[in-house]
């Protein structure tokens, strides 16, 4: 199927590779002009190893590391659509930040994912959503937590980033902020999630231990019912600016008030033009304790490829804390990765040279956990 952005008309709006790209094409490196690395806010050391014509835009999205069943087919469609949304932005010359936001909004609006509509329910049957966004050019970031009625929490995260002096705003004030900026509201609770809660609560009642221990026992016995399906996106645009975004309803049956890794910069997501972008999914408490997304980025800043850095961090989650984890990342040279230790992680990627995204239900599976 031909995508709207793949038409000749749309092709004409592709930035003419920008002055930078034309200049860069086939130029030997290290680059003659180091000030270019500065103006792009790219680590000059890494910049000198990049063939500048390789600096094309690209986006990766994921629909959550977890225990997908027959609904994996719908998740595949969902991540493909989300990657297309992001790609549309990049093809028109938009920035990475707009691209990851558009991709995450698409998945928040798709009830198959545990983010926005279709969010997992707390043990009380309520929804408390978390989201975050980060711009690697300025290291600016915004996030929201415990949001109940905002249709697209990732939009609210961007409002926090661009209109407040804070990085993370939670609860009532976040809702008020959404109202002040006229963000649409919606009831994120779906019948499917209600039925899931009834099933899991029934199963939990058979346990003999208090709440958290019950959750743990339940997780061991039936990991799929506490499964995670958070959404996330990482992108780099034609100017070499990196961005990441993530959104989630959190872990099913979580205690009200629990905040996971998704809105925590450095845990659930990180972006820096010097080191690339990473977004994490899985058991939030593990990603928080290991500072996973920042660790991936630091490794990439040190010269490690996205794929190696993501793999090492997923292994660390398995080996040190036996926690589920999935990571998507793009390194400063444009290398891409999708790695996880769960049965599935639907994901899609697209780059400048592609007409439509490539979609997979699994990335590289390492140190797999039951
Ligand atoms: N990391 C999310 C959380 O713990 C869940 C997920 O990735 O699916 O809230």
Residue 86: give its domain's CATH number.
3.60.20.30
Nearest CA to ligand 1 atom 8: 228
Look over the chain and give the mean of its residue pLDDT values, rounded to a whole number.
83
Is residue 27's pLDDT more than 60?
no
Region label for 240, one of left (φ > 0), alpha (ψ between -120 and 50) or beta (otherwise): left
CA 158 to chain centre: 14
202 within a domain of the structure (yes/no):
no
pTM: 0.83
Calculate the CA dihedral of residues 299, 315, 317, 305 and round it to 10 degrees.
20
Q: Are residues 232 and 273 in the same domain?
A: yes
In a domain, 290, yes or no: yes
Pick the atom of ligand 1 nearest to 64's CA: 8
Quickly count: other Cβ atoms within 10 Å of residue 342's Cβ: 26
Pair 218, 210: CB distance under 8 Å: no
Q: Is 351's C-beta closer than 6 angstroms to any atom of ligand 1?
A: no
DSSP 8-state assignment for residue 136: T
Give the pairing of strands 364-365 and 336-340. parallel
Distance 290 CA to ligand 1 centre (A): 14
Q: According to the model, what pLDDT value does residue 331 have?
A: 95
Q: Note whether 17 and 151 are same-domain residues.
A: no
Is any atom of ligand 1 closer than 6 Å to the C-beta of 248? yes
> For residue 283, how far is its CA from the centre of ligand 1 (angstroms)?
5
- Centre of ligand 1 from the C-alpha of residue 249, in Å: 8
Give residue-wise pLDDT tens across range 138-153: 999 999 999 999 999 9
Maximum average pLDDT range among 149-163, 180-194, 247-261, 352-366: 149-163
Residues 130/250, Cβ–Cβ less than 8 Å? yes
Residue 91 alpha carbon to ligand 1 centre in Å: 30
Segments forming the whole domain that contains residue 95: 58-190+222-365
Rounded CA-CA distance 108/114 in Å is 8
Please say if 230 is a catalytic residue: yes
**Burial of 53 by CB count in 10 Å (0-12 exposed, 13-18 middle, 19+ buried)?**
middle
Same-domain check for residues 30 and 148: no
From 56, 200, 201, 230, the catalytic residue: 230
Q: Is residue 28 part of a domain?
A: yes
Residues 99 and 19 placed together within one structural domain of the fold: no
The model's confidence at residue 46, banded by pLDDT at 50, 70 and 90, is low
Residue 17 CB-density burial (10 A; 0-12 exposed, 13-18 middle, 19+ buried): middle
**Residue 306 counted as domain residue:** yes
Q: Which residues contact 46 (CB under 8 A, 6 or more apart)?
A: 274, 301, 303, 332, 333
Q: Residue 195's pLDDT band (boundaries 50, 70, 90)?
A: confident
The answer as to whether 214 is a domain residue is no
pLDDT in tens, 59-106: 999 999 987 777 899 999 999 999 999 999 998 889 999 999 999 999
Asked if residue 213 belongs to a domain, the reply is no
Number of domains, the chain: 2
Looking at the CA of residue 130, tell me the nearest atom of ligand 1: 9
- In this structure, are 29 and 146 located in the same domain? no
Composition of the chain by helix, strand, coil, percent to 5: 40, 20, 40
Atom of ligand 1 nearest to the CA of 260: 9
pLDDT at residue 192 is higher than 80:
yes
Coil vs helix vs strand at 247: strand
Confidence at residue 52, expressed as pLDDT on a 0 to 100 scale: 42
Within a domain: 196:
no
């Amino acid at each position: 199927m031909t995508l709207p952005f793949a038409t000749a008309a749309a092709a004409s709006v592709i930035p003419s590779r920008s002055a930078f790209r034309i200049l860069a094409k086939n130029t030997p490196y290290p680059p003659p002009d180091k000030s270019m690395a500065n103006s792009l806010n790219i680590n000059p050391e890494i910049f000198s190893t990049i063939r500048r014509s390789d600096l094309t835009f690209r986006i990766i999205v994921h629909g959550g590391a977890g225990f997908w069943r027959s609904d994996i087919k719908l998740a595949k469609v969902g991540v493909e659509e989300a990657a297309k949304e992001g790609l549309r932005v990049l093809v028109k010359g938009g920035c990475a930040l707009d691209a990851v936001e558009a991709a995450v909004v698409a998945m928040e609006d798709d009830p198959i994912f545990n983010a926005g509509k279709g969010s997992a329910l707390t043990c009380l049957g309520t929804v408390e959503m978390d989201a975050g966004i980060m711009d690697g050019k300025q290291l600016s970031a915004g996030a929201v937590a415990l949001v109940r009625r905002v249709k697209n929490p990732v939009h609210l995260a961007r409002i926090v980033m661009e209109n407040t002096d804070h990085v993370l705003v939670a609860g009532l004030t976040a809702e008020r902020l959404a109202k002040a900026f006229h963000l649409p509201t919606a009831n994120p609770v779906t019948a499917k999630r209600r039925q899931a809660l009834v099933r899991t609560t029934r199963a939990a009642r058979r346990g003999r231990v208090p709440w958290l221990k019950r959750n743990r026992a339940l997780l061991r016995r039936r990991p799929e019912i506490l499964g995670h399906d958070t959404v996330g996106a990482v992108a780099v645009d034609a100017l070499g600016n990196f961005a990441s975004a993530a959104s989630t309803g959190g872990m099913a049956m979580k205690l009200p008030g629990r905040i996971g890794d998704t809105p925590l910069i450095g845990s659930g997501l990180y972006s820096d033009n010097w080191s690339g972008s990473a977004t994490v999914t899985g058991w939030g408490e593990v990603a928080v304790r290991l500072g996973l997304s920042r660790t991936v980025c630091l490794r990439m800043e040190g010269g490690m490829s996205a794929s190696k850095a993501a793999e090492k961090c997923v292994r660390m989650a398995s080996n040190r804390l036996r926690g589920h984890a999935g990571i998507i990342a793009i390194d400063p040279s444009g290398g891409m990765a999708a790695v996880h230790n769960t049965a599935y992680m639907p994901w899609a990627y697209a780059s400048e040279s592609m007409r439509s995204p490539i979609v997979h239900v699994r990335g590289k599976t390492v140190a797999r956990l039951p």
